[in-house]
Amino acid sequence: MKSQPVRTAVYIVALSPYLTAAVAIALTAAASSSSEPTRLTAQPSLLDIANNKADVIILEELTPQLADALDLNGFKNAFPYQALEPGEYGSGVGIWSRFPITLSERIEGFRLKMVSADIAIPGAQQDTVFVATHLPAPWPQDTEPWRDEIERLPATIQAIKDHADGRAVIVAGDFNATYDMAPFRNLLTNGFASAAA
């Protein structure tokens, strides 16, 4: 089988003087018929940006093959701390960090995988909580699974925020929504704001 191209949209966000995060949206692995990891030569920009600009990487659509390919291409060396939940057919997510992950947990109850990681950022008084999320698409399939999950997500991130007990919480990923959708705007309450705004 011929390899598929890698698609990426990478956002670099300066979160504080101590932390820069790269959030890569909709990364699709180079797929082949082999179970062996492949070199990611089709799109080196993600690797270059990550290695040169980011302290934390959050990816969705993470497959086991992509996780292996990223390790083969140096992610494990540049980002030795990982909270990965790869899944078949792009259902997984992952968090890579240059800084220690002190706790990671899979967040249950959603169709696609979700994971959180507490990261000890140098200079920060407390660990920062990162959440990698990916909601199902509202189109072309039935919109009910997306609507159900995006309506439940505010309670989930509020519970994470409550458990964080005053620490910073950063939720990143593919919400399959835009600001003009009311369910997405409902996420931007109780102290949460869009980094894209």
Is the separation of the CB atoms in 116 and 104 below 8 Å?
Answer: yes
Among candidate residues 123, 71, 81, 124, the one with its CA nearest the CA of residue 104: 81
pLDDT 10s digits, 32-54: 334 555 555 444 556 677 777 78
Is the separation of the CB atoms in 135 and 150 below 8 Å?
Answer: yes
- pLDDT greater than 80 at residue 127: yes
Question: Residue type at 51?
Answer: N
Confidence at residue 1, expressed as pLDDT on a 0 to 100 scale: 41
Cis peptide before 138 (omega within 30 of 0): no
| Helix, strand or coil, per DSSP, at residue 24 | strand
Lowest pLDDT segment from 1-15, 123-137, 151-165, 180-194: 1-15
| Helix, strand or coil, per DSSP, at residue 105 | strand
What mean pLDDT value characterizes the chain? 79
Average of per-residue pLDDT across 14-31: 41
Residues β-bridged to residue 62: 92
pLDDT 10s digits, 73-110: 788 888 999 999 999 988 999 999 999 999 999 999 99
- Interatomic CA distance for residues 194 and 187, integer angstroms: 9
The residue among 156 and 16 whose pLDDT is bigger is 156
The residue among 34 and 160 whose pLDDT is bigger is 160
Question: Residue type at 34?
Answer: S
Looking up tokens 């505010």 gives 154
Break the chain into its structural domains and give their ranges. 9-185
- pLDDT greater than 70 at residue 6: no
Is the separation of the CB atoms in 21 and 38 below 8 Å?
Answer: no
- pLDDT greater than 70 at residue 5: no
- Interatomic CA distance for residues 6 and 163, integer angstroms: 36
CA Rg value for the chain: 16
Domain 9-185 class in CATH:
alpha beta
Question: Residue type at 121?
Answer: I
Lowest pLDDT segment from 5-9, 19-23, 77-81: 5-9
- Interatomic CA distance for residues 24 and 40, integer angstroms: 15
Phi-psi region of 142 (alpha: psi -120 to 50; beta: other; left: phi over 0): beta
